[in-house]
């Protein structure tokens, strides 16, 4: 990262902090706010405050300034409540006063019957219990139960966690009959929870039929080196600590049907959109574990046999991601890429804490995590009957993928994977090129998606520059990182596909149709007309004779019919200039002769 870019990034960082600070983010004096810490440390390179700023930038996508201010203030107050709950600042009066403020502001922001109010009420109830105020906790949990009944109905399995909390309070009060009532209902809902996710079909490769429900449940298999928390709430089942061995299972992700492709309208911590409304939110609904790897592979094999295309997608998440985050992104990719077979998510123990960037770096280098991913790559590519295997890694997850690829034994074939996608890799450029050069024989095609305005990667460079006292740590996911296309690697600058201000996930947004063409049609960059040649690779840049919409239509019609002539004929018979252009694009991309 050259000195001018570092100065510009640092200036932007200071301006962002100043804007947040002077917009009134500070509250009370019970505990220092994030903004307080940042200002105090003066944004020194590589120090924790820069990582904190990265988190604020990366998770605050406001609809408007007023909403952002409200959400940020509430987020900071919830952070303070977490500290009170963890006994870091044991001040009962301040904790209870803050809890009242949080509930009032959450109700103002989300409404008295809003689903997003439920996790706030549960957190505040926990704080009240921590400071021996069971009556207040009971009132809050009763209200959470009321909201849950309105939003989900009285028998939704997710409400069992509120019922357990209520059971504990009534037991502590000595009201055994009421405690028993709630505990029995919670146990019943726990038993029926698996039934609520039965009968999920393989993801369709044909146009989906009209469904009565406005959402679908997507199975996402997983292998994880995360340690179990002992809490069977699906969204808290696995924590951030590393376990000694892998766990294997399947999660079920609820994905709204009315959703922009690439959009994850899910539970961002900053927005407090923790889940809950399947009509609007993408969220992790349930988890089921297998006894071991044998049962895991058997289940994937059975799903593969039931599919037509026998495809498998392996997804590896990046920095500052919870188990839930990884499952939800994998579920989104399963739907948007219409994977006909199985989707498998590898969940390494990211700390889900922006203050622990270095700890996540260490986890991405830990041998146990590399070995576990290597094991998964081998198993899915050779033991479940998959005909096509795609691998997508995002951000810091690319470090683990590159390390695991180097550990793979020779497959005895020319390649093991149909396509490997390196999305916005948080890996030093020179190191990335060296590692890719050692592993390209494992895959038919490798693709690197970069961007010129990737804010998280720019801030990652700042952090590492401070940690390692050097400017020569450009990231491979940075368009200016210097990585160039090779015979085995296509480098695609997706800057013009950016649809949000972060620029860190462009490959799932407007460039999604290019990714689809890569995976579905298996055509090289030279035949994907939304890409234009540039020095060192390609850039996503649709032209008048190859619009993004027409290119996407051509790709989709071929996917449906698997025959160029038939797809082109259908497009030709469809009214409108877009379909005509799509037909021409398809014929040029996949000529029939």
* 401 Cβ neighbours under 8 A, 6+ residues apart: 316, 373, 391, 393, 420, 422
DSSP secondary structure letters along 300-333: HHHHHHH-SS-EEEEEE--TT--HHHHHHHHHHH
User: Which comes out higher in pLDDT, residue 374 or 32?
Assistant: 374
Question: CA 398 from chain center: how many Å?
Answer: 14
Averaged confidence pLDDT in the chain = 78
**What is the predicted pLDDT for the residue at 537?**
96
Q: Of the ranges 250-259, 324-333, 480-489, which one carries the lowest mean pLDDT score?
A: 250-259
**Mean local confidence (pLDDT), 158-176:** 87
User: Which comes out higher in pLDDT, residue 196 or 449?
Assistant: 449
Report whether pLDDT(491) > 90: yes
User: 366-377: per-residue pLDDT in tens?
Assistant: 999 999 999 999
Q: Of the ranges 31-35, 105-109, 506-510, which one carries the lowest mean pLDDT score?
A: 31-35
Q: Of the ranges 19-33, 203-217, 395-409, 415-429, which one carries the lowest mean pLDDT score?
A: 19-33
Read off the tokens for 11. Answer: 């200036």
Q: Of the ranges 61-65, 185-189, 248-252, 514-518, which one carries the lowest mean pLDDT score?
A: 61-65
**Residue 1 confidence class, pLDDT cut points 50, 70, 90:** very low
Burial 549-570 (b: 16+ CB within 10 A, else e): ebbbbbbbbbbeeeebeebbeb
41-50, 147-156, 438-447, 469-478: which is most confident: 438-447
Q: State whether residue 493 is helix, strand or coil.
A: strand
Report whether pLDDT(513) > 90: no
**What is the predicted pLDDT for the residue at 147?**
87
In whole angstroms, give the CA distance from residue 466 to residue 32: 24
**Mean local confidence (pLDDT), 32-50:** 37
**Residue 355 confidence class, pLDDT cut points 50, 70, 90:** low
Question: CA 374 from chain center: how many Å?
Answer: 21
**What is the predicted pLDDT for the residue at 221?**
96
**Mean local confidence (pLDDT), 277-286:** 72
**Mean local confidence (pLDDT), 160-174:** 88
- Spatial CA neighbour of 225 closest among 204, 210, 241, 249: 241
Report whether pLDDT(254) > 50: yes
196-210, 437-451, 472-486: which is most confident: 437-451
**Residue 152 confidence class, pLDDT cut points 50, 70, 90:** low
**Residue 582 confidence class, pLDDT cut points 50, 70, 90:** very high
């Amino acid at each position: 990262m050259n000195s001018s870019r570092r100065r510009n990034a640092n200036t932007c960082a200071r301006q962002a902090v100043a804007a947040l600070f002077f917009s009134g983010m500070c509250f009370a004096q019970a505990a220092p706010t994030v903004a307080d810490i940042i200002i105090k440390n003066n944004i020194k390179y590589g120090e924790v405050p820069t990582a904190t700023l990265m988190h604020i930038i990366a998770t605050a996508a406001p609809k408007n300034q007023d909403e952002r201010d409200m959400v940020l203030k509430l987020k900071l107050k919830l952070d303070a409540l977490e500290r009170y709950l963890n006994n870091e600042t044991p001040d009962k009066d301040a904790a209870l006063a803050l809890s009242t403020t949080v509930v009032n502001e959450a109700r103002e922001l989300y409404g008295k019957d809003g689903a997003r109010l439920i996790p706030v009420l549960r957190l505040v109830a926990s704080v009240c219990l921590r400071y021996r105020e069971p009556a207040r906790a009971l009132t809050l949990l009763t209200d959470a139960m009321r909201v849950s009944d309105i939003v989900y109905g009285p028998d939704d399995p997710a409400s069992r966690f509120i019922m357990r909390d209520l059971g504990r309070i009534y037991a502590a009060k000595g009201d055994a009959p009421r405690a028993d009532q709630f505990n029995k209902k919670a146990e019943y809902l726990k038993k029926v929870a698996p039934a609520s996710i039965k009968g999920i079909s393989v993801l369709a490769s044909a146009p989906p039929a009209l469904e009565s429900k406005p959402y679908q449940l997507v199975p996402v298999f997983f292998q994880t080196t995360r340690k179990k928390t002992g809490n069977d709430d699906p969204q808290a089942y696995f924590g951030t600590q590393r376990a000694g061995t892998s766990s294997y299972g399947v999660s079920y992700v609820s994905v709204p049907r009315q959703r922009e492709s690439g959009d994850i309208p899910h539970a961002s911590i900053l927005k407090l959109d923790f889940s809950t409304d399947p009509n609007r939110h993408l969220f992790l609904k349930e988890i089921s574990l297998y006894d071991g790897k044998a049962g895991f592979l058997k289940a994937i094999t059975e799903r593969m046999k039931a599919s037509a295309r026998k495809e498998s997608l392996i997804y590896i998440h990046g920095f500052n991601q919870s188990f839930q985050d990884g499952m939800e992104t994998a579920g989104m990719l399963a739907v948007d890429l219409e994977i006909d077979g199985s989707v498998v998510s590898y969940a390494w123990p990211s700390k889900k804490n922006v203050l622990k960037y270095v700890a996540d770096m260490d986890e991405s280098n830990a041998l146990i995590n590399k070995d576990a991913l290597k094991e998964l790559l081998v198993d899915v590519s050779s033991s479940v009957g998959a005909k096509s295997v795609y691998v997508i890694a995002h951000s810091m997850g690319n470090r683990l993928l590159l390390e695991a690829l180097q550990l793979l034994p020779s497959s005895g074939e020319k390649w093991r994977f149909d396509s490997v996608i390196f999305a916005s890799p948080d890996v030093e450029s020179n190191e990335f090129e060296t590692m890719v050069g050692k592993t390209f024989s494992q895959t038919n095609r490798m693709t690197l998606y970069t961007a010129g305005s990737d804010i998280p990667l720019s801030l990652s460079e700042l952090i590492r520059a401070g940690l390692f006292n050097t400017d020569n740590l450009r990231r491979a996911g940075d368009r200016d990182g210097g990585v160039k296309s090779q015979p085995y690697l296509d480098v695609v600058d997706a800057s013009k596909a950016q649809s949000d201000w972060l620029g860190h996930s462009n490959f799932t947004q407007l460039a999604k149709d290019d990714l689809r063409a890569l995976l579905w049609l298996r055509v090289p960059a030279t035949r994907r007309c939304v890409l234009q040649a540039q020095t060192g690779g390609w850039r996503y840049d649709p032209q008048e004779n190859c619009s993004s919409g027409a290119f996407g239509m051509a790709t989709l019609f071929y996917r449906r019919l698997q025959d160029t002539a038939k797809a082109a004929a259908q497009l030709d018979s469809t009214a409108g200039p877009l379909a005509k252009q799509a037909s021409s694009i398809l014929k040029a991309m996949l000529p029939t002769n």
